């Protein structure tokens, strides 16, 4: 158990390095640089000033030299400096991380819980009325683009009904603090979380329905039933721990898509998180920030996959052995392309 952990951590270092090099080359091929953006926005600049900025930002050096300097700083744990924001990248990313985590964390927690329950309810009688309803609705939820759900929710709850705030993270003029401040944030969270949840609930309901149906046909469930175990105990005690495996795998897979998915939602709801930060960074050619976000998300993905593996080992002893066909099968369903938008 310790060895794979160590191997994973080593792998992490390799991935971080590879991502850094790959992304650096990729980002350097973006046409124009930060100085072009600053010059364009500013409306009036002088050539000398532009040259000075490029020298200051190190953009006048050969890009291999820049790459070596970047890797060198990275080795010392320095993510670089954003000249756009006048702040170290680490602080900038750390600043936005909780905002994104709040949004995505709330949405995922809600979605996994609701999705599992719906999936279980649907799996109990496949093709019954409940199942048809749940499956139909989740296919619908699975089919709508996030940005469109967001806009429709804004029209309904923000514009027509006027119940909920449609953007931002808090009401800054009210200057709430303490629990009222938290309540204010929660109020602002409702619409973006609802947007993400409509999609994720659908994903997890579909997934857990399928895996629950699979598990419910297995021998040990039949044995449990034959022994006269009550239905609730069969489902939550025997079937669920195994049925939850693909859901966990999906969570791991989705951790990388989270950032992508949150770009549109954060943009629509003016939610100052990592998605918005990275989108702005692309547009303004703020390469260190973009690299920082990409590295952060890579680490996040690797760590969450590691966590998922650990939980799986704990939940299902079979995973420790070479995978059998039946254990691989529910996994295969999660091998479907991840949603981008």
Partner 1 sequence: MRRWYLQPSILVGGATLLAVAGAALAAGTLYPDDPLDMVGAPFTWPGTEAATPLGTDLMGRDLLAGLMHGARISLLVGLSSAFVSLLIGVLVGATAGFYGGGIDATLTRITELFQTIPAFLLAIILVAILKPTVVTIVFALGVTSWTSVARLVRGEFATLRERDFVRASIALGAGDLHLIFREILPNAWTPVIVSTALLMANAILSEAGLSFLGLGDPNVVSWGSMVGLGRDALRTGWYMTAIPGLAIVLTILGLNLLSDALHGALNPRLRRSRS
Partner 2 sequence: MTCRHSDHGENRAGTDGVIERAPVVDRRELFGLGGALLAGGALGSLFPREAHALTEAPVPAVENARAGGTLDAVVHPEPPTLAFFMNTATPTRAVVSKIFDGLVDYGPDLKPRPQLAESWETSADGLTWTLKLRKGAFWHDGTPFTSADVQFSAEVVWRRYAPTAKRIFQYLTKVEVPDAHTAVLTLSKPTPVIINALDVVAAPVLPRHLYEGTDIPNNPYNNKPVGTGPFVFKEWARGSHIRLERFDRYWQSGRPFLDGILWKIIPDVSGRANALETGLVQYGERNPVTFADADRLAKSDKLVVNKDGYNGFAGWLWLIPNLRHPILGQLKVRQAILHAINRDLLVKTVWGGYATPATGPVSSLLKTFYTPDTPQYPYDRKKAEALLDEAGFPKQADGWRFKLNHDFIPFGDDYRRTGEFVRQALRAVGIDVTLRGLDLAAWTKNVFAEYNFDLVSSWGINWQDPQIGVEQHYWSKAEAKGTPWFNASGYARPEADKLLEAAQTETDPARRVAIYHDFQKLAQADLGLLNILEFRWFGVWDARLRNVTNTFNHSQSNFAHVWFEQSA
- Supply the minimum distance, in Å, between the C-beta of residue 292 and partner 1: 13
Candidates 268, 289, 290, 308; binder of partner 2 (CB under 8 A) is: 268
Residue 131: CB atoms within 10 A of its CB come to: 19
Residue 232 has, within 13 A of its CA and on its CB side, a CA count of 0
Residue 129: CB atoms within 10 A of its CB come to: 8
Q: Which of 122, 146, 124, 125 is nearest to 135 (CA)?
A: 122
When the beta carbons of 27 and 247 are compared against partner 1, the nearer one is 27
The rounded distance, in Å, linking the Cα atoms of 112 and 13 is 30
Residues that bind partner 1 (CB under 8 A): 14-15, 18-19, 22-23, 26-27, 29-31, 139-140, 142-148, 151-152, 154-155, 159, 253, 256-261, 263-264, 267, 278-279, 282-283, 290, 294, 297-298, 301-302, 325, 328, 332, 335-341
232 near partner 2, judged by CB under 8 A: no
145 near partner 2, judged by CB under 8 A: no
- Supply the minimum distance, in Å, between the C-beta of residue 26 and partner 2: 15
Q: What share of the chain is helix, strand, coil (3-state, %, to 5)?
A: 80, 0, 20
98 near partner 2, judged by CB under 8 A: no
Taking CB within 5 to 8 Å according to partner kind, which of partner 1, partner 2, none is near residue 40? Answer: partner 2
Candidates 272, 319, 329, 339; binder of partner 2 (CB under 8 A) is: 272
Taking CB within 5 to 8 Å according to partner kind, which of partner 1, partner 2, none is near residue 152? Answer: partner 1
When the beta carbons of 154 and 244 are compared against partner 2, the nearer one is 154
When the beta carbons of 34 and 205 are compared against partner 2, the nearer one is 34
- Supply the minimum distance, in Å, between the C-beta of residue 175 and partner 2: 9
Q: In 92-118, which positions are buried (b, 16+ CB within 10 angstroms) versus exposed (e)?
A: bbeebbebbebbbebbbebbbeebbeb
Q: Answer whether 35's CB lies under 8 Å from 54's CB.
A: yes
The rounded distance, in Å, linking the Cα atoms of 251 and 323 is 20
Helices 240-268 and 178-216 cross at an angle (nearest 10°) of: 140
The rounded distance, in Å, linking the Cα atoms of 126 and 132 is 8
Contact stretch for partner 2 (CB under 8 A) within 88-96, 192-200, 238-246, 249-257: 88-96
Q: Which of 208, 23, 237 is nearest to 113 (CA)?
A: 208
Contacts with partner 2 by CB under 8 A lie at 30-34, 36-50, 52-53, 56, 84-86, 92, 95-96, 154, 158-159, 162, 166-173, 267-270, 272, 276-277, 282-285
């Amino acid at each position: 158990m310790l060895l794979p952990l160590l191997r994973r951590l080593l792998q992490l270092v390799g991935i971080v390095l590879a991502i850094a090099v790959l992304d650096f080359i990729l980002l350097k091929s973006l046409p124009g640089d930060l100085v072009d953006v600053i010059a364009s926005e500013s409306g009036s600049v002088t050539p000398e000033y532009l040259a000075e900025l490029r020298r200051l930002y190190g953009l006048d050096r050969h890009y291999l030299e820049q790459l070596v300097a970047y890797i060198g700083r990275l080795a010392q744990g320095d993510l670089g400096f954003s000249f756009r924001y006048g702040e170290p990248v680490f602080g900038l990313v750390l600043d936005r991380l909780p905002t994104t985590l709040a949004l995505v964390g709330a949405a995922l927690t809600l979605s996994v819980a609701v999705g599992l329950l719906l999936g279980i309810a649907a799996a109990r009688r496949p093709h019954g009325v409940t199942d048809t309803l749940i499956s139909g609705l989740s296919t619908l939820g699975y089919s709508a683009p996030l940005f469109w759900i967001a806009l429709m929710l804004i029209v309904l709850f923000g514009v027509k009904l006027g119940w909920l705030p449609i953007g931002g993270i808090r009401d800054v003029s009210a200057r709430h603090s303490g629990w009222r401040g938290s309540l204010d944030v929660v109020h602002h969270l409702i619409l973006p979380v609802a947007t993400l949840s409509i999609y994720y609930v659908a994903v997890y309901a579909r997934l857990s329905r399928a895996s629950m149906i699979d598990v419910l046909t297995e021998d040990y469930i039949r044995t449990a039933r034959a022994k006269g175990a009550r239905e609730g105990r069969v489902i939550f005690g025997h079937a669920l721990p195994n049925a939850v495996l693909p859901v966990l795998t999906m969570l791991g897979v989705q951790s990388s898509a989270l950032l992508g998915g949150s770009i549109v939602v954060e943009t629509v709801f003016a939610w100052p998180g990592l998605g918005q930060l990275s989108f702005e960074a692309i547009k303004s050619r703020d390469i260190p920030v973009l690299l920082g976000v990409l590295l952060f998300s890579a680490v996040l993905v690797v760590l969450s996959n590691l966590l998922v593996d650990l939980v799986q080992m704990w939940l299902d002893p079979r995973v420790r052995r070479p995978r059998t066909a039946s254990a691989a099968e529910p996994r295969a369903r999660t091998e479907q392309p991840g949603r981008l938008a």
